[in-house]
Structure 1
Amino acid sequence: MKKTIYFFLFYCFFILAGRGNAVSQTSQKGIKAVPANDFLNSLGVCSSITGRGETLKGTIDALTYTGIRFVRCGLEDRISVQDMITLHKQTGARICYGLLSGGTDLDRLLRESRQLASADVLLALEGNNEPNNWTVTYQGETGGGNLSWMPVAKLQRDLYSLVKSDAVLKNYPVWNISEGGAQTDNVGLQFLTIPERANTLMPAGTQYADYANCHNYITHPAWPGLHDNQTWLSASPGADCPVDGLYKNYGLTWRNHFEGYSESELLTLPRVTTETGYSIDKDVNEEMQARLYMNLYLSQFKRGWSYTAIYLLRTRENEPDHESFALYTMDYTPKQAAHYLHNLTTILADNKSIDHTGSLGYFIVNRPATVHDLLLQKSNGKFFLVVWGEKFTGGKDEITITFSKIHRFVNIYDPTTGTLPISTKKQVKSVQLTMSDHPVVVEIY
């Protein structure tokens, strides 16, 4: 868990240094890279693994192919601990294990989480899933939905307390409930720890979680269709986020406008996304969904989300309509999103972190507002500059990346075409790229 804490502290600096936009970070010393392994570790997916019609072999094959590093699941999925351990041994994927929809069995959650922790499989523990949609009955009281949220708050408080007092689990992070912005009464779930003078129904000092948790799907009934900067804006921690994001759950709750953190505090608030995605519909076909999903992971990481789980890997038998969100069809045929994620994670593949990354001097000349970048470094020392375009309403931009010195070799990759370089250049001082609605990876050495 020291790595988790280090990762978050690094990101506090990273976000404050430029709010995730490298155009303002150019200096004589260059831009500091982030370990490629840290980015890859942030990639997650929702899956029942062996529950609700999913199979262990299908899940193992899907995670191996896409390179996804963690699974968000929980009590309602009814997965055996041994299956989760086998999944980890075969793929390396870790488990975020939670109470999920309506779950209240803390004894079972902690017992099975201890087994996962002992096998080095556990990533985090999570509270309830969307109590606005699935009510909770705890200690004889039913809450959530349109009722009081006091039972939800008490359950989350007790989950946190039990985890932190447990000899095996105390160093693992607790992720908050999702959709805290739907509170009917101000029980303070818009805070990780309720501060003094917050005027909440639960007392100051009540501890709920180590990480805020959102379901910031990259579309919303109030923001339908495709837009430029679709994933970038959806990942924003501030009030400019047009979807159900951090601000509407932890800044000013979307249902009853209970005050939480200030926008400046939200910038460095530890946060995760346990559901996000975009359903194939009249605006988004399978090809566009695949491009959105690559950009989604990149925007989330760049804007300070430690972990992001796309909904979902493969739909469940009891929810066939949800296949339009998924990376795989119900018979485990990979959709285009699975292929593109395979390409991206293959290009960036690395399984070792770096204690001290290097810096690279570069500047994107006349950068348009729809172009974003993330500088990664692999454990072999090579830099990988990921640049992605967010022109989802059409059009292209020609950009130039100028380096502070001449580099011996540059390889350019396009994950929409495969895993091999589309271009190799020698003695390079600048690179021209055509950007539209997906990432391009520039390897520099």
Structure 2
Amino acid sequence: MYGWAVWFLVVFVLVQHVEARNVLSIPSNPQSPKIGIFRLNFQLKQKALDANETGQTTVIADSVSHTLITTIGVGTPAQVMAVQIDTGSSLFWLRSPKCRGTSCSGQPVFDNTKSTSYVPMPPATALTGPLRKSIVYGDNTRVECELGVDTVMLGALVIPNQPLCEADVIQTTTGSSDGLIGLAPPGANTATDVFRNMIASKAISKPFASFWYNQSRQFSDTNAGQITFGGTDSSKFTGNFTWFPIPITGRNHWSTTFEGITLDSAPLTQNRTGTAIFDTGTTLAIIPSDTLSAIVLAANAKQLPNQGLYQVPCDKVSGIPPATFHIGQRRITLFAEQQVFVVDGTCLLIFAASTPNINVDVILGAMFLRHFYTVFDFGTSRTGLAISAGQLANSLRLTGKSAGSRVNVDVRWAFVLGWVVLSSLVI
């Protein structure tokens, strides 16, 4: 079907604490907040750059609260930047030397004056719109930037003439990565659309971006997750994909219809039809506040002081009733252990409450997606979920029910978290 040269780009992820956009601090224990961040060290960056220069298809990267961060090379010679890969937004931006403020000082920047392949963006067109861009994320982080054009290297994939946005304003109370690659669906139609350029250059065999999250308990792990551009990795999932086409009314996001949530077969949402978003840039599952209240009560959970997170007595986790998400006319059930993650012996719910500035009902972030091999199909504007395969120690049963079929699989559940990305969704 596709007459393009075949490239598979696989990005492996190393778990560390790194600075991220849209974060909440999570205490290592209820009395002692874990403060501080770790940036990619020189050796990691050099390995990533070497991989690009030798044509290998893997780069070493980090994850932030299981939202995926990878290193890319930008310009000639390549300047290595750590960027978040986010399906909940559309802009590709990098911190520039002109950036001022607490999120800019002393941080890596992309300096276009040091790149021989950089060219200014031509005058504004109908496609690019204004050359200056501004974006506001779900936690009110604001980024303002100017468009330019340069070569981008992502693993062995070289993307020439890639529009990018150089950020001189990053307004956030939580800091930021060096930049962000937005992978919103084709309907977003952004001037800096990286994936559209991959397709146009015929560098990939299929218009797929596929995400897999490792289930390892290791705090530092060179195989904590991977992103494949141009296809899927059959060793990372079992069974068939269940596909969720984007509704006509939701073309700017990887969305599907939301019909409600049931807890132990009892409906928590009455006569509600709305929108659910598949978002790799959000850590938790963001759900309506009334639904969260019911789950908190059933789980015997208590809110952490000054946090949007809920602690569950670890010896009571097994008593949490199953929660079934009704999305896209499918049913996906998370059992007790899938609704909880553990930080330094503290059990926390994977759910957080939606806020008024987020104009969707549900955001299915990494804590939900980690149970699945998730494919974002840019060709037909749909999201596919298959049961994730991987390490099976400390196994739990995850049940996905869709299209009248029931699939059972044992998965390993573990998570070490220092920071939580609340929401990357653009408002």
**TM over 0.5: same fold?**
no
Could you say which structure has the higher strand fraction?
2
Shorter-chain TM-score range: under 0.3
If asked which structure has higher relative contact order (CA below 8 Å, sep 6+), I would say 2
Could you say which structure has the higher helix fraction?
1
After TM superposition, the score normalised by the length of structure 2 is 0.27
After TM superposition, the score normalised by the length of structure 1 is 0.26
